Amino acid sequence: MSGGVDSSVAAALLQRDGHEVVGCFMRLGSPGEELEVPIDGGSCGVGAARIGHQGCCSINDAADARLVAARLGIPFYVVNFRNDFGRIISYFEEEYHAGRTPNPCVRCNDWLKFGKLRQYAEQLGCDAVATGHYAQVARTADGPRIERGLDRAKDQSYVLFGIGREALARMMLPIGAMEKPRVRELAREFGLPVSDKPDSQEICFVPDDYAAFLERRAPGRFAEGAIVDEAGRELGRHGGHQHFTVGQRKGIRVPATIPLYVLRKDPTANTVVVGPRESLDVAAIEATDTAWYAAPGADGTEVECTAQVRAHGTPIPARARLVDGVLSVAFARPEAGVAPGQAVVCYDRDERILGGGWIRATFRA
């Protein structure tokens, strides 16, 4: 229970259906609060990272969740995951320093909501963990699989791909077959005090200028380097490759007769490669650290699917194959700005997740 309308209605629906419900709030940190997390991959001790202005799971959210639990008459627990959340921050930092594009929201679901929280639920004797995500759990011949939420504008299936079979078998998503207006309507019917509460932001622990956050935490990892074209010719200088992301256009600050975009970064050489828009097009990717739920594709055979590389990105017709833990995905049409570190999630025609992984390499069109 995050204190928002979605998880509150999820709890109320489960109670209405006869389940014994226990409310649980994950205490991650408040906006402006400092967390102690390792600096520089753990080699330089521990330092403070400040929660950004969009942070969620704050004290105010906990108060709202407690009010909902009291209205429903269910037990309510607050679990302190502040230190565990430090693992998410460390992951975010290390990915950027390695030249990749991280997705901390996916990792939070994998490691905390359906990892650490699931272990806590087992200690309480609970049979399942339920959340207010807009996704569904489908029972298939291959076992349970994640399916897109009915409300496509709110669909959150992408960020749940990595939770694994064990967590999926003990997962409930009560509002996944509803659209947001119906969820708010139910909140009013249940008399919940959060029925008109605005939607919360995704977890965000850094200010708008993430590079400043990284540099403040580890200034020694920022160094001047070259901005080069695709042929390796130097066009300008930068103050650290961490200031750039693949697909970026603004802020490159080199003279050119055509618009230039960041194509890739080389953290070893500390170079940023820029070029024209068409050079951003990617035809295929390779991913590791995979989770696969369906029989097709898991045995090395090629499977037709749609692939998604961003949480709310447009599905791309594709072909996928999983061999020795490496997921290869070939797009039917080029996709711009795909970067190592992003997650790729493959869906079947029924819009159920086949599986996914974390992109380690991209191949140009």
Alpha-carbon distance values, 328 to 68, 294, 307, 324 (Å) = 45, 16, 11, 11
Characterise 222 by phi-psi region: left (phi > 0), alpha (psi -120 to 50), beta (else). beta
The pLDDT of residue 52: 45
Domains of the chain, earliest start first: 5-132+174-189 (3.40.50.620), 223-275 (2.30.30), 280-364 (2.40.30.10)
Catalytic residues: 108, 204
**Dihedral of the CA atoms 152, 156, 162, 165 (nearest 10)?**
-80
Residues sharing a CB contact under 8 Å with residue 16, sequence separation 6 or more, in sequence order:
none
Tens-digit pLDDT string for the chain (365 aa):
999 999 999 999 999 999 999 999 998 865 455 545 444 445 444 445 454 444 456 678 899 999 999 999 999 999 998 888 889 999 999 999 999 999 998 999 999 999 999 999 999 999 999 999 999 999 988 899 999 999 999 999 999 999 999 999 999 999 999 999 999 999 999 999 999 998 876 556 766 688 998 999 999 999 999 999 999 999 999 999 999 999 999 999 999 999 999 999 999 999 999 999 999 999 999 999 999 999 887 788 999 999 999 999 999 999 999 999 999 999 999 999 999 999 999 999 889 999 999 999 999 98
The pLDDT of residue 240: 97
